Structure 1
Amino acid sequence: MLSLIGLTSLAACMPLPSGLNLSLDRPTVHDKYHVAIYPPGEPIAINKLHAFEIRLRSPSGEPVSGARISIDGGMPQHGHGFPTQPRVTRELGGGRYLLEGMKFSMPGWWEIKLRIDAASGTDDVTFNTIIASRTAVPAVAGDPAQR
């Protein structure tokens, strides 16, 4: 039991990969879409459900409507996914989508992986975020007032 506690403590203190991109606004892998995700207004709390807004655009900046977006991810350094099954629950209009059910069960590095299927085809994007041991708001590119 003591060794399990020691391993858990070491895992929580793993160093982050160098050059980890924390931008929450980026193109998809094959440049079919440009995606931004916006965390809730309040700090990200561990073991609480959160909703994010996804903003989906074409490479030229036009809003993308009618997309199907699936979510995966988790903690790469720990080998586990999200403790919930986050999903897009509705389209908000103007290329915006509501992602609900996001829960971070512990502090550390998390990946949010989106698979987008829309008129230009299917493409993927991965966002990195660091959740602090108490609360934190992930870095977000752009002006929050324009969300």
Structure 2
Amino acid sequence: MSAKFSRRRLLWAAPLAILAVATAGFAARMMEPPPSDLDLSLRKTTDHGLYVASLAADQSPIPVGAIHSWTVKVTSTDGKPAANVAITIDGGMPQHGHGLPTKPEVTRDLGAGRHRIEGMKFNMAGWWTLTVSINGPKGADKATFNLVL
């Protein structure tokens, strides 16, 4: 009877121990500062070199906890405004393993390759990424930007 009790206890204890170690590791990662060599540029050539994208927050400093807007500008690599492009925005906190708390979207074409992004929100300070995905006549491409708030 005691051997049965010990095995049952072990079956419960092992998963709990694994969960505790995993939780401790995740918590430690959340407390680390962002990498010191983080590229904080808000203007980048897309991953496959099809476009150049730049981001600008409509408020400075970038607010934490409030919904706000951004402008994304998309050009060809020679600087001409990209026309007929579909743009989506996604992002999150790499150290925390979660995405944006809202679903920002492009709401308006402002001309000259510029587009209004509304519904952006960062719910806490820290390292965030924003990925601009572009689909246009040259093809689909994306650029990921780093922010530290």
Bin the TM-score by the shorter chain: 0.7 to 0.9
Post-superposition CA distance 1:29-67 (Å, at most 9, x none): 001000110111332221101111011100111001221
Separation of aligned partners in 2, 1:68 and 1:87: 11
Q: CA deviation at 1:73?
A: 1.0
Match for residue 45 of structure 2 among 7, 11, 27: 27
What secondary structure, in the 3-state scheme, does the structure 2 residue paired with 1:19 have? coil
Q: Residues 43-122 of structure 1: matches in 2 within 5 Å?
A: 43-122=61-140
Give the Cα–Cα distance (whole angstroms) in 1 for the partners of residues 122 and 44 of structure 2: 22
Q: Say whether 1:15 aligns with 2:42.
A: no
Report sequence identity in percent: 42
Number of corresponding residues? 127
Looking at structure 2, the residues matched to 75 and 130 of structure 1 have their Cα atoms a distance apart, in angstroms, of: 10
- In structure 1, list runs of 5 or more residues that go unmatched: 132-147
Partner of residue 141, structure 1: none
CA RMSD of aligned residues (A): 1.9
Give the Cα–Cα distance (whole angstroms) in 2 for the partners of residues 107 and 13 of structure 1: 12
Q: Which of the pair has the greater relative contact order for Cα pairs under 8 Å at 6+ separation?
A: 1
Quick one: distance in 1 between partners of 2:123 and 2:62?
11
CA distance in 2, matches of 1:102, 1:10: 28
The equivalent of 2:6 in structure 1 is none
Q: TM-score, normalised by structure 2?
A: 0.79
